[in-house]
Every structure is written in C-alpha cells, then in structure tokens.
Amino acid sequence: MREELRGPIVEKVGVAVVQQINTDNELEYNVYLLNLRDDIMEGIIINSTGYGENVNTGEKIKTSTLRHCIEVLLPNEAARIEPIMDDVFGISNEYWVSFWIDDVLYDKKFIFPPEMICEKNLKEIKILGAKGILIQ
C-alpha cells in the first residue's frame, strides 16, 4: 500500500474502560476517550460495536453499532463515550475513532479482546482518577 494512503499515525490517544460507582452506589463500567496529546482534537466521531462467539454454543454474536460525536477534546482531557455492560466482556469490543487536528484527518481502531476487561487487569488511570483498562 502506498504510504500516503495510510494516513497519519495516531499517537497519544486512548480509549479506556473504567470501573466507577454510580449515584445508586452500584458498580458500573464506562468507556472514555482520552486526549493525551498537546493538540486539540476536533470533529470526533466514534463507532462502537461488539463481536465474537458464544463459547458454549459457537453461535456468532454481534452487537448494534453505536455512533457518538464529540465536538472538541482539549489536550490532556477525557470524554465519556458510553456505558458498557459486563455482559459483553466475553466478546471483542471495538471503538473506531476518527478526528481532526489542524485540517488533518486521523483514525484508529481500539479493540478490547474477549475477557480483557476484568478485575485483575484494572490499573489506575491518572487522568480519570479511577481504575480501568487503557488501550493506546
């Protein structure tokens, strides 16, 4: 593939699944987009979907595709994308993020493989002040 068709490399951008306590004092998980860059990200579009197969039956599983839009994300800022149910932790969860910086379009897929989202893999994510799993 020609180099100019690949687009610029996405660096210092991450997607995190974070464990939090909600207003009802219950444990929940939320997905965040993190801008760890020194630039402002604009016109952000995120497609999220889950896919895999049931380990017991071998049946293919695919969730609905959800689309999210964030107008601006400042440097070293995070934005909540969506809540995520622990029912889908056994399948791959994909977040395809596209954004603009200085008239240049960037995009990257962030994939949480099956069973990656679990208690033993949680680590402190400073920018969010919570434990979670971060993919960059």
CA Rg value for the chain: 16
- pTM to 2 decimal places: 0.93
Tens-digit pLDDT profile for the chain (136 aa)?
Answer: 565 667 899 999 999 999 999 889 999 999 999 999 999 999 999 999 999 998 888 899 999 999 999 999 999 999 999 999 999 999 999 999 999 999 999 999 999 999 999 999 999 999 999 999 999 9
Instruction: Write the CA distances from 58 to 52, 55, 62, integer angstroms.
Output: 9, 6, 13
Q: What angle do CA 64, 66, 72 make, to 5 degrees?
A: 170
Please report how many Cα atoms fall inside a 13 Å half-sphere around the Cα of residue 98, on the Cβ side: 9
CB 15 within 8 A of CB 34: yes
The CA dihedral of 91, 86, 120, 123, to the nearest 10 degrees, is 100
Calculate the CA 40 to chain-centre distance: 18
What pLDDT was estimated at residue 56?
A: 84
What pLDDT was estimated at residue 4?
A: 60
- Cα–Cα dist 94/1, whole Å: 24
* Domains (range + CATH), the chain: 3-135 (2.60.40)
